[in-house]
A and B are shown apart, each in its own frame.
Chain A
């Protein structure tokens, strides 16, 4: 006899879809009200959210803490710079189409080396590999421009249909690019949501919770971790691709380990044990860092204090804390 599967609903809640659509609508309506600077800042925040979303597939869903995700962000950024300088490409779509596979290949290679290890060994390996890329970017001046970096002017959007030249180009770019990044962000969120709710995503969570048991269910641990690493790095690479036209310049700083630390920070800030945590963390961290830098020259100290307080007072991050509070305050369902 078949069990009655209808008794408990595991279907995605309509409320979740409605809330997501509402958030997207609010984000789409914001620019005219918040001005150019805040729009630019929010674009940076959305880029950081994509990077954190990718990072969290490894930390939150697979249980692997990478200290080297700056490598993929930097690879994405430098790919754009190379495509522009060496191939004369100005199209944002081509940057994404060509840059994403480059980030994926790099992630696949790094992942192949790293996923054979876990815990601190995994973290140190990712850190070491990202530092190799940083050193190369720093020393190969003829290729990367060294500490001067490589300039990336404003690209064309939507297959060259939208260009940014002439008077008011900067303003038009910031507004247009915001919607472009928002679109990519929305697609990225949907793709990642499907991945973490797929059988593959559930298997990653099983590996995270209990590697031994997962192996005794026939799940090939290293292979799954490698694929998770590949996807994670690719998403972070995509963030790097989107970031560089906004920044106008890429330097070895984006490959340096403190930048990896910032990605870890974003996930912790938002909360890495839930899907939306890194998204919120990415946006909040962007504002936090911007205002910390503007407030004091000791901004790193300020961020350090925030990180300590976060770990001590909000170990589940902003979203985790809000979620816990909501669960505490909401009326309990009566059992029938």
Chain B
């Protein structure tokens, strides 16, 4: 069942075509990896779908509804959440508050002005639950700004996950962390996302990570889709190999 679909989606920055008539589909429940070299248009595509950018033309359909020109707020309410390539946290707030903020916002409780946040038992329990799933519970009281890079990456995903989205975009969740931490982060993220039955689209450069965790892989190159298939299909795709090895397609 198709959860998200883009139809001839197009975005151009000057002469550069970041997304060139992209027709992208995400099926419900899958763990999809979006790969490609730098400048391929992966983040631009996610930015367009999450309303961080407005498309020049084309359509974005989510659960069959046209959301092309809806606001960030409306897309989040519809069930689309994302994390960022560069970790985006509330550094002055505790780890607990970072996740709690997602839950307060999701439940429409951020308008509460005459009640103490810490007295909301439901939010407390769910926050600890989410932090427990991501292995961050013991750091609840630590300021987010004081976490190590790997923990910050996990918290970044946890904050987006706490919105309980239907579709979660993770923009390079393992960038800037050690090889050992990468596996740990992806094991955690993958198991939490699958257990929560959340459809996930991961932008990733590490092909070991991509092949190990993905149900489906889509490769972008110069704003277009170059390949789409299972990890096994992508592994034997010559175009993908050429791009990844830096060899021109015509070679």
Chain A positions near chain B (C-beta within 8 angstroms): 2-5, 7-8, 10-12, 194-195, 197-203, 205-206, 208-210, 212-220, 224, 227
Chain B residue at minimum C-beta to C-beta distance from A273 = B92
**A216, B82: Cβ atoms closer than 8 Å:** yes
**A203, B140: Cβ atoms closer than 8 Å:** no
Contact partner, A199, options B72, B77, B109, B125, Cβ 8 Å? B109
Bound-state CA distance A5–B72 (Å) is 32
Given contacts A8-B141, A206-B101, contact A200 B116 (CB under 8 A): no
Contact partner, A219, options B110, B115, B118, B160, Cβ 8 Å? B110
Contact partner, B104, options A8, A202, A216, Cβ 8 Å? A202
Given contacts A3-B128, A213-B89, contact A8 B140 (CB under 8 A): yes
Which residues of chain B from 80 to 123 have a CB within 8 Å of any chain A CB? Answer: 81-82, 84, 88-93, 96-97, 100-102, 104-106, 109-121
The 8 closest A-B CB pairs, nearest first, are: A3-B128, A10-B118, A209-B90, A218-B76, A213-B88, A200-B113, A203-B110, A3-B129
- List the A side residues contacting B106 at CB < 8 Å: 217-218
- List the A side residues contacting B101 at CB < 8 Å: 202-203, 206, 214, 217, 219
**Does B146 count as interface, using CB distance less than 8 angstroms?**
no
- List the B side residues contacting A201 at CB < 8 Å: 113, 117
- List the A side residues contacting B229 at CB < 8 Å: none
B80 to chain A, nearest CB (A): 10
Bound-state CA distance A9–B140 (Å) is 10
- List the A side residues contacting B116 at CB < 8 Å: 12, 194, 197-198
Interface size on B, residues (CB 8 A): 49
- List the B side residues contacting A8 at CB < 8 Å: 96, 140-141
- List the A side residues contacting B132 at CB < 8 Å: 3
Bound-state CA distance A214–B89 (Å) is 9
**B113, A216: Cβ atoms closer than 8 Å:** no
A54 to chain B, nearest CB (A): 15
Chain A residue at minimum C-beta to C-beta distance from B156 = A213
**B112, A3: Cβ atoms closer than 8 Å:** no
- List the B side residues contacting A206 at CB < 8 Å: 90, 93, 97, 101
User: Given A202-B117, A218-B77, 7 other A-B contacts at CB below 8 A?
Assistant: A7-B128, A8-B141, A202-B97, A202-B101, A203-B104, A205-B92, A209-B91
Chain B 125-152 per-residue mask, 1 if CB under 8 angstroms from chain A, else 0: 1011101100001001100000000000
Bound-state CA distance A213–B116 (Å) is 23
**Does B159 count as interface, using CB distance less than 8 angstroms?**
yes
**Does B163 count as interface, using CB distance less than 8 angstroms?**
yes
**B92, A217: Cβ atoms closer than 8 Å:** no
- List the A side residues contacting B50 at CB < 8 Å: 216
Given contacts A5-B125, A199-B109, A203-B105, contact A216 B117 (CB under 8 A): no
**B105, A217: Cβ atoms closer than 8 Å:** yes
**Does B73 count as interface, using CB distance less than 8 angstroms?**
yes
Bound-state CA distance A125–B73 (Å) is 27
Bound-state CA distance A202–B129 (Å) is 20
**Does B124 count as interface, using CB distance less than 8 angstroms?**
yes
**B112, A199: Cβ atoms closer than 8 Å:** yes
**B88, A212: Cβ atoms closer than 8 Å:** yes
Bound-state CA distance A198–B73 (Å) is 21
Contact partner, A213, options B84, B117, B127, Cβ 8 Å? B84
B237 to chain A, nearest CB (A): 33
- List the A side residues contacting B121 at CB < 8 Å: 5
- List the A side residues contacting B110 at CB < 8 Å: 199-200, 202-203, 219, 224
**B112, A217: Cβ atoms closer than 8 Å:** no
- List the A side residues contacting B129 at CB < 8 Å: 2-3
Chain A residue at minimum C-beta to C-beta distance from B110 = A203
**B124, A210: Cβ atoms closer than 8 Å:** no
Contact partner, B93, options A11, A202, A224, Cβ 8 Å? A202
- List the B side residues contacting A216 at CB < 8 Å: 50, 52, 72, 76, 81-82, 88, 160
**A213, B159: Cβ atoms closer than 8 Å:** yes
Given contacts A197-B118, A198-B115, A202-B104, contact A218 B92 (CB under 8 A): no
**B72, A213: Cβ atoms closer than 8 Å:** no
A114 to chain B, nearest CB (A): 20
